[in-house]
């Protein structure tokens, strides 16, 4: 296999573009795709301060790396979720990445801020961990980016993530999600920071190749709660189609942005937002979903503590 640019030995094949690249030309291709995404979708300007949400995984660290290489003013945000070993290792990888590049990383602990780790928030509210986690991250990303003066928050979602999420939304005809699914979520209303996904033109395999070729030390293990997630099933289905017909994911997602989404946009209504009565974040309800989640977890903890303190009928104390 030869590089289509220099005819040298190719390191990475990009079948959907009928191309193969040597190391240097692959990195150039990767950077061009990111630059094109940022410019075509008007994500941010070179002078805008960007906050990159990093998890220690290949996608978010590759994104941070490429933004720094392209000369953007990109800082990182690591939210420690309190998921045992996974959180510890992913935090260390993120911190080491930042240190090696002399880049700024903000580290925020969910437990320190709200009194619960994500697993505790989930168990105290009887939710699946990813639901409590998603709510927590969305809330904290927005608040921290806004409070610390960033114009935009960037996440490492790639083409596989976006195509899988689109497939899920299509299978259930989630028209409100379909109307909103886009690599740019503008800060349309007060209190919202603009959110962007500069890797949406690149597949998971390409992002992994970038991380390996640039020597990024990322956490390989998935979060233990990821196993069995529906999104993994959709990714598998799309990978099967992609193997037989290269370009399926690209056509599905980029075709949707161009031809499908406008129809859902026209039909969709935009809900009215106002500040949450407790935390001030924008919400459609009186109190936002995240504040209600934390409140419910607190009530459960108090109830359990009170039950544990009650004297028991057998005379023994009610401690654990
Ligand atoms: S970190 Fe959080 Fe993911 Fe882990 S608990 Fe689920 S949502 S799987 S991206
Ligand atoms: Zn080459
Ligand atoms: Zn709130």
Q: How large is the average pLDDT for residues 211-217? A: 98
Is residue 135 within 8 Å of residue 290, measured between CB atoms? yes
Q: Encode pLDDT of 31-55 as tens digits.
A: 999 999 999 999 999 999 999 999 9
> By the 8 A CB rule, do 107 and 93 touch?
no
Average the pLDDT over 113-118 and give the result.
96
pLDDT band per the 50, 70, 90 thresholds, residue 267: low
Q: Ligand 1 in contact with 223 (CB < 6 A)?
A: yes
Pocket test for ligand 1, best of 80, 137, 219, 223 (most atoms within 8 A of CB): 223
* Probe target for ligand 1 pocket from 117, 141, 226, 231, with the most ligand atoms within 8 Å of CB: 226
- CA 286 / ligand 3 centre spacing (Å): 9
DSSP 247-283: THHHHHHHHIIIIIHHHHHHHPPPPP-EE-TTT--EE
**How far is it, in rounded angstroms, from Cα 93 to Cα 59?**
13
Beta strands in the chain (DSSP E): 12-14, 19-21, 49-54, 73-80, 105-109, 152-154, 184-185, 194-196, 274-275, 282-283
Look up the pTM and report it. 0.93
Structure tokens at 207: 């992002």
Q: How far apart are CA 78 and CA 234, in angstroms?
A: 27
Report how far residue 206's alpha carbon sits from residue 234's, in angstroms, rounded to the nearest whole number.
Answer: 19
Confidence (pLDDT) at 309: 86
Contact 279, 291 (CB under 8 A): yes
> What's the Cα-to-Cα distance from 195 to each of 44, 235, 254, rounded to whole Å?
10, 23, 18
| Ligand number with the minimum distance to the CA of 28 | 2
Q: Are strands 152-154 and 194-196 parallel, antiparallel or unpaired?
A: parallel
Tokens of 76: 């990182």
Give 219-235 pLDDT, tens digit per residue. 999 999 998 789 999 99
Ligand 1 contacts CB of residue 130 (under 6 A): yes
pLDDT in tens, 168-202: 999 999 998 899 899 999 886 778 899 999 999 99
Q: Which ligand is nearest to the CA of 130?
A: 1
Q: Give me the pLDDT at residue 51, please.
A: 98
Q: pLDDT band at residue 270, thresholds of 50, 70 and 90?
A: low
How far is the centre of ligand 3, averaged over its atoms, from the C-alpha of 293 (Å)?
Answer: 9
Mutation to probe ligand 1, out of 225, 227, 231 (largest number of atoms < 8 A from CB): 225
CA distance linking residue 38 with residue 197, whole number of Å: 9
Is the Cβ atom of 225 under 6 angstroms away from ligand 1?
yes
Measured CA to CA, the distance from residue 55 to residue 81 in angstroms comes to 10
DSSP for 181-221, written as a single string: -SSEE---STTPPEEE-TTTTS-HHHHHHHHHHTT-----S
Q: Specify the range with the lowest mean pLDDT, choosing from 10-14, 111-115, 161-165, 265-269.
A: 265-269
Whether the per-residue pLDDT at 264 is higher than 90: the answer is no
Closest ligand 1 atom, residue 137 Cα: 2
Q: Whose CA is nearest to atom 8 of ligand 1?
A: 226
Residue of minimum CA distance from atom 1 in ligand 1? 223
């Amino acid at each position: 296999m030869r590089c289509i640019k220099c005819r040298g030995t190719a390191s990475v094949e990009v079948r959907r573009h009928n191309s193969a690249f040597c190391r240097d030309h692959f990195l150039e291709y990767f950077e061009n795709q990111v630059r094109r995404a940022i410019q075509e979708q008007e994500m941010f300007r070179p002078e805008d301060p960007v906050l990159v949400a990093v998890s220690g995984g290949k996608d978010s660290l590759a994104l941070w790396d490429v933004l720094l290489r392209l000369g953007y003013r990109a800082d990182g945000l690591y939210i420690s979720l309190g998921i045992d070993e996974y959180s510890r290792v992913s935090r260390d990888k993120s911190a080491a990445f930042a240190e090696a590049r002399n880049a700024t990383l903000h580290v925020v602990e969910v437990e320190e801020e709200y009194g619960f780790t994500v697993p505790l928030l989930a168990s105290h509210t009887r939710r699946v961990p990813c639901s409590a986690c998603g709510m927590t991250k969305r809330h904290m990303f927005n608040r921290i980016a806004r409070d610390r003066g960033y114009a935009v928050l960037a996440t490492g979602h790639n083409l596989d993530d976006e195509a899988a999420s689109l497939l899920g939304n299509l299978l259930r005809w989630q028209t409100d999600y379909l109307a909103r699914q886009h690599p740019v979520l503008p800060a349309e209303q007060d209190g919202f920071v603009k959110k962007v996904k500069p890797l949406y033109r690149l597949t998971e395999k390409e992002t992994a190749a970038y991380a390996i070729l640039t020597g990024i030390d990322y956490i390989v293990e998935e979060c233990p709660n990821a196993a069995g997630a529906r999104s993994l099933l959709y990714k598998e289905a799309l990978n099967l189609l992609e193997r037989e017909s290269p370009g399926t994911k690209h056509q599905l997602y980029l075709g949707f942005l161009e031809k499908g989404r406008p129809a859902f946009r026209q039909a969709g209504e935009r809900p009215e937002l106002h500040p949450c009565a407790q935390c001030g974040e924008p919400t459609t309800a009186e109190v936002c979903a995240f504040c209600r989640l934390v409140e419910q977890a607190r009530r459960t903890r108090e109830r359990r503590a009170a039950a544990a303190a009650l004297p028991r009928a057998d005379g023994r104390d009610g401690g654990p």
